[in-house]
Amino acid sequence: MASKVRSSKVANSKNGSLTPTEARNSTAMMRALPSDPDTPKIARNAEDPQYKRQTASHERSLAETLDLVPHAMLARLTGGLSPFSVYQTWLDWAVHLTASPGKQMELWQKGLDKLIRAHQLALHTLYDGENCTDCIAPLPQDYRFRHEEWRKPPFNLYYQNFLLIQQWWHNATTGVKGVTAEHERAMQFMTRQLLDVLSPSNFPLTNPEVQERTRAEMGLNLLRGMRNLQEDAERLRRGKPPVGAEKFVVGDTVAATPGKVVYSNHLIELIQYSPTTDKVRHEPLLIVPAWVMKYYILDLSPHNSLVRYLVGQGFTVFMISWRNPGSDDRDLSMQDYLRLGPLAAMEAIKSITGADRLHAAGYCLGGTLLSIAAAALARDGDDLLASVSLFATQNDYSEAGELKLFINESEISFLEDMMREKGFLEARQMAGAFQILRSNDLIWSRILRVYLLGERPPMTDLMAWNSDATRMPFRMHSEYLRMFMDNSLAAGRFNVDGRPVTLSDIRLPIFALGTETDHVAPWKSVYKITFQTDTDVTFILASGGHNTGVISQPGLPGHHYRIQAHRSSNPYLPPDDWFAETTIIEGSWWPAWSKWLAARSGPFEAPPPMGTAVDGDEQLPDAPGRYVLQH
């Protein structure tokens, strides 16, 4: 049965469907449409609630326009963080704490106890500083005070008092009766961020490691640090990549797996990679990366390229490379990303290879978009997909970790006003939000090493890729944030072509990957796919974080994973129980996924045509294409 979703991937002004060749020329189509700001650039379903909400922004009154100007100016000053949201959080906590004399008494008692412990530590340090024991231990994930010099006076007093204060503020921001769970988590987060700024590890006069290095090098470390700071500030001002990133050249050092762009439209280039085996599996594989960053995290250096590994296992691999949108793309929507992205790519792959079915894998936001596409195809009875693989992908945002603290009506409205001015969200603003989630590891430890100790850590391919971010168009990002806030996909309220889709319609085999220390997509949130769908799900939990857990090439020491298949006929297994009963397997998870794909693939056969575009267009470039080079 032909899918209505696939047949209407790109709708023209006459509501017809475009062939893949015509879809490639959608740039010209978009430019030909009216430029009036009240007219959307791509025809859409007028009954779609998301469409109505977004297009309403084009019909602003004078009062709304006047509101937009100060909001946008304030957003630039705060880096996109809504001060109204921060004030709401603080007010909820402060009012309830003021009305809780019992909690106040408890905090006075805890404060007095910590003061006594700090006083006893000072006396013990005075009389026997060499053998003084700590009165409080850092958290396991806190690496700031592991240098042995922190155990010597007076530095032990500095960091021990800091930890006592940190613990007291944790007690003060938790357990206040009446405060919403959302505001309690936000208060903890904001307080922790402020305290991290004041950590004694951040200042030369209170950091023994910095003082030891300064004495040993006669201050040369601080001179190097000043030079590093000046160089980094200049590169940031000019929009240049960080020091050392120039060694990783896209198409040469990274993103170097041979292939060719075989399809292109306004939003994507589709890369087909050259086979390296005499025979390949019958079903091709489409990979849908996140559009927040460039696609080549999955095709880094030759030794850690997931694409190169899969091609070597006999799979015909296709990769989507997303366009880096500009202000002209402000009206691109989630529906456009769906139609011009995975759905258009699937049609092109089917046309090129002649395969009736294909495997599809999505990473992070790309996995969310792939889940929507799979649910829409299932809703319309289309069996194009043979399986779905989701890497670090959340489809239910009810437990989305600390990233959820940034998503509320005040914050989204604030971001919308800021994005509406330029038409997109700056790449550095999104990167900054992710860095704040791990400020100790990504901000303060860097300040210590690079600017105080004068060390410039060697650039890696992953670090270079991480600095190569993309922008996000206003409308799409606004729709995604509201989907995140409303949790509409998990609730079955997200619409495709004016009708809702639900994950429970997906009956395909699913391979889902979570990573142990993921701060963007916590693994227990990723694990929810096991009960969101009515199908067999193989869940794997790999060591590492959001990126390092995915880039886990065979032969890399220190990596491990857990894996277990959940049958649709079996009762639900909570994540903690799943973790307790699965055993650790040393090594990379890539071979396990390759084996899983092979078990659901047909026999080997001759490779499909290579480098023949849908219409034989000879102007399409070789991999990595043009879009990945856009800045």
**Whose structure tokens read 């659901």?**
600
Q: Return the CA Rg of the chain.
A: 26
Fill in the amino acid letter for 226.
M
Q: Indicate the helix (H) or strand (E) that contains 563.
A: strand 560-566
CB neighbours (10 Å) of residue 605?
Answer: 11
Task: Assess whether the previous peptide bond of 138 is cis (omega < 30° from 0).
Answer: no
SS3 assignment, position 111: helix
CA 526 remoteness from chain centre: 13
CB neighbours (10 Å) of residue 560?
Answer: 17
Q: Which member of 30, 256, 297, 364 is catalytic?
A: 364
Distance CA 377, CA 137 (A): 53
Distance CA 408, CA 221 (A): 43
Q: Name the nearest CA neighbour of 520 among 495, 540, 550, 492.
A: 550
Distance CA 389, CA 537 (A): 10
Burial of 454 (0-12, 13-18, 19+ CB in 10 A): buried
Helices 62-78, 409-422: crossing angle, 10 deg rounding = 100
The phi and psi torsions of 62 (rounded to 5 degrees) equal: -60, -40
Distance CA 71, CA 92 (A): 23
108, 383, 605 from 282: Cα distances, Å: 70, 16, 6
Distance CA 539, CA 554 (A): 19
* Catalytic residue flag (residue 135): no
Burial of 272 (0-12, 13-18, 19+ CB in 10 A): buried
The number of residues making up the chain comes to 631
Active site residues: 364
